[in-house]
Amino acid sequence: MNLNQRIFFIAVLLLNFAIKAQETPGYRYEILLGHDNDFTVFGARTDWHYTYGIHAAFNWKPFNENFLSKVFPQKTAFSHGIGAHVQAYTPDYARTFQIVRTRQPYAGWGYFDFATNYAFEKSYVQFKLDLGILGPAVQAGEIQNFIHEYFSKDIFVDNWENQIPNTFGINIRAEYAQDLITQDWFSLYALGRASAGTIFNFAEAGLNFRIGKFLPISQSVARQQSLFGRGETEFFLEAGVNMHFSAYNATIEKADANGVKVVPQDLVNHSIFNGNIGLFFASKRYTLGMKWNYTEGEIEGNKPHRFIIVAGTYKFN
């Protein structure tokens, strides 16, 4: 083999390696960090209803099938995830300015979840098991005052001693999304969610649209399913509406530390309209999304609530 033949042979090998690299199935592992906060309520010197959420999760695609993955044999991919979460719920605690008619109890919900995701060509199904505590053990009040002191410079909240007492919580949750229309830079998909357990019992159905560059909903950052993709680039605006039907919400309906059910049962709102609009970006290992949310809230007669969700992921092998 002469020099020219050797150079040609090496070039063919390198080209083959490059093609194979482009055909890699993406990434196997993912770390997610997220934060929810109602600081987008401009002009209000108080939090109320859903005050904040802190989220961390680790997701992965198993190497081999297991008994959970075999539930849907027709799936195109599947993954598991574990997460840790803290969520805080407060009344309007302002001393001189009240933004709501009916105050709710203080509540901190901290939990771990285990998730299994099943991806299909134009849809996905997700199941989650939540295990946690609703109560002071979560330290939601301490976290809130830490954020107020060192970041947002809000007032010190000193009524957390009356929060809902410690209660073990378990929820089983399900989520399903299906692409309905996809044409070039426009997509419409349906989303359904449900929960059954000791903290939240609800069903929810809605429609969302995306404008921009995006993957099928089963691989998109829109619903944190990008681990099923191959690191393709996405950038799009998303907006949607849904109806939330709540049968029970422990953060509203459970008695506080004094044994008082702060919200009268006839003021609990069981049919809630929600809306959202957000921007999303994904490229290779990274994703980032920010969504502004509007909700009528869980209590009849109170003003609508607004909060923002920010979440990002990092993928690796």
Whole-number Å distance between alpha carbons of 153 and 145: 9
Which tens digits make up the pLDDT trace of 176-221?
999 999 999 999 999 999 999 999 999 999 999 999 999 999 999 9
pLDDT the model gives residue 85: 98
- The residue ranges of every structural domain in the chain are 30-316
Instruction: Name which of 110, 80, 260 is nearest 171 in CA terms.
Output: 110
Give alpha helix (H) positions in the chain: 3-22, 140-147, 250-253
Going by their DSSP bridges, the two strands 305-316 and 167-183 should be labelled as: unpaired
pLDDT the model gives residue 298: 85
Instruction: Name which of 106, 87, 53 is nearest 255 in CA terms.
Output: 106
pLDDT the model gives residue 94: 61
Whether the per-residue pLDDT at 167 is higher than 50: the answer is yes
Which tens digits make up the pLDDT trace of 38-86?
865 554 455 678 889 999 999 999 998 888 888 899 999 999 999 999 9
Whether the per-residue pLDDT at 101 is higher than 90: the answer is no
pLDDT the model gives residue 156: 83
pLDDT the model gives residue 159: 86
Whether the per-residue pLDDT at 11 is higher than 70: the answer is no
Average pLDDT over residues 271-283: 97
Which tens digits make up the pLDDT trace of 128-156?
999 999 999 999 999 999 988 888 777 78
Average pLDDT over residues 101-108: 87
pLDDT band at 21; cut points 50, 70, 90: very low
Predicted TM-score (pTM) of the model is: 0.88
| The three-state (H, E, C) secondary structure of 13-75, written as one string | HHHHHHHHHHCCCCCCEEEEEEEEECCCCCCCCCCCEEEEEEEEEEEECCCCCCCCHHHCCCC
Which tens digits make up the pLDDT trace of 220-270?
999 999 999 999 999 999 999 999 999 999 999 999 999 999 999 999 999
pLDDT the model gives residue 2: 57
| Per-residue CA distances from 122 to 177, 190, 308 (Å) | 8, 11, 28
pLDDT the model gives residue 212: 98
Whether the Cβ atoms of residue 115 and residue 126 lie closer than 8 Å to each other: yes
Whole-number Å distance between alpha carbons of 18 and 26: 15
pLDDT the model gives residue 95: 54
Domain 30-316, CATH class in plain words: mainly beta
Contacts of 132 (CB under 8 A, 6+ apart): 85, 109, 110, 111, 112, 138, 168, 169, 170, 199
Whether the per-residue pLDDT at 17 is higher than 60: the answer is no
Whether the per-residue pLDDT at 120 is higher than 90: the answer is yes
Whether the per-residue pLDDT at 1 is higher than 60: the answer is no
Residue type (1 letter), 248 = Y
Backbone phi and psi for residue 205, each to the nearest 5 degrees, phi listed first: -140, 140
pLDDT the model gives residue 224: 96
pLDDT the model gives residue 41: 54
